[in-house]
Amino acid sequence: MKITISGIGGVGKGTTAKLLSQKLKFKNISGGNFFREMAKTEGMSLYDFEQFVKENPKYDERLDKMQKKYGRENDNFVLESRLGWYFVPDSLKIKLICKENIRLKRIMNRDGLSIDVTKKEEKKRLKSINLRYKKLYDINDWSNNKNFNLVVDTTNNKPQTVVNIILNHINKK
């Protein structure tokens, strides 16, 4: 089984992927962590790196090739990545959603920024992501629910509840 978890920042992709992979005893792969590590290596904040990558697609291409290759050559993994569903088409495709105010608070707490800065930076980041995906892959709406087998709202659900919803979906298959 191959599982991909997608969603915008702050919906709980990383937490859900980690817990789900532990429960299933699958390998956990984080596109988000890899992207953050590239930003750190370049000496940039995540938000500055998002803008930089718009003009330097080699970073997206490196991450995307890694995901495609891993998806072709492996089974029994959980991949947390906005475009995981696209690069691993034979996966169980899960999208996480969350109300904006909760999502922004999560990002603010994770990144140590004010709510105003978080809101401004996330808006710019999402615009940049959408433009990059259109330019690189001709994807107009990467987060369209039609791309996914299951959509789970994390707004009022604890991470373990989200994992249980996913496991129940898997068990029904």
Is 150 within the bounds of a domain?
yes
Mean pLDDT of 162-173: 95
Is 55 within the bounds of a domain?
yes
Whichever domain contains 140, its CATH number is 3.40.50.300
Give the structural domain span for 40. 2-168
- Crossing angle for the helix pair 115-137 and 46-55, nearest 10 degrees? 20
Token code pair at residue 29: 């792969």
CB-neighbour burial class of residue 70 (10 A; exposed 0-12, middle 13-18, buried 19+):
middle
CB-neighbour burial class of residue 97 (10 A; exposed 0-12, middle 13-18, buried 19+):
middle
What band does 62 get if pLDDT is binned at 50, 70 and 90?
A: confident
Is 173 within the bounds of a domain?
no
Is 145 within the bounds of a domain?
yes
Mean pLDDT of 27-56: 82
The predicted model scores a pTM of 0.86
**At residue 51, does pLDDT exceed 80?**
no
Is 53 within the bounds of a domain?
yes
Is 84 within the bounds of a domain?
yes
Separation between Cα atoms, residue 37 and residue 155, nearest integer Å? 27
DSSP class of residue 5 equals E
DSSP class of residue 79 equals E
Tally the domains of the chain: 1
Contact 9, 100 (CB under 8 A): no
Nearest CA to 17 out of 155, 154, 132 is that of: 154
Is 138 within the bounds of a domain?
yes
Token code pair at residue 79: 């991949």
- Structure confidence by residue, pLDDT tens digits, 72-88: 999 999 999 999 999 99
In this structure, how many other beta carbons lie within 10 angstroms of the beta carbon of residue 62? 12
Nearest CA to 10 out of 91, 125, 92, 87 is that of: 125
Contact 96, 13 (CB under 8 A): yes
Contact 124, 67 (CB under 8 A): no
Separation between Cα atoms, residue 154 and residue 167, nearest integer Å? 15
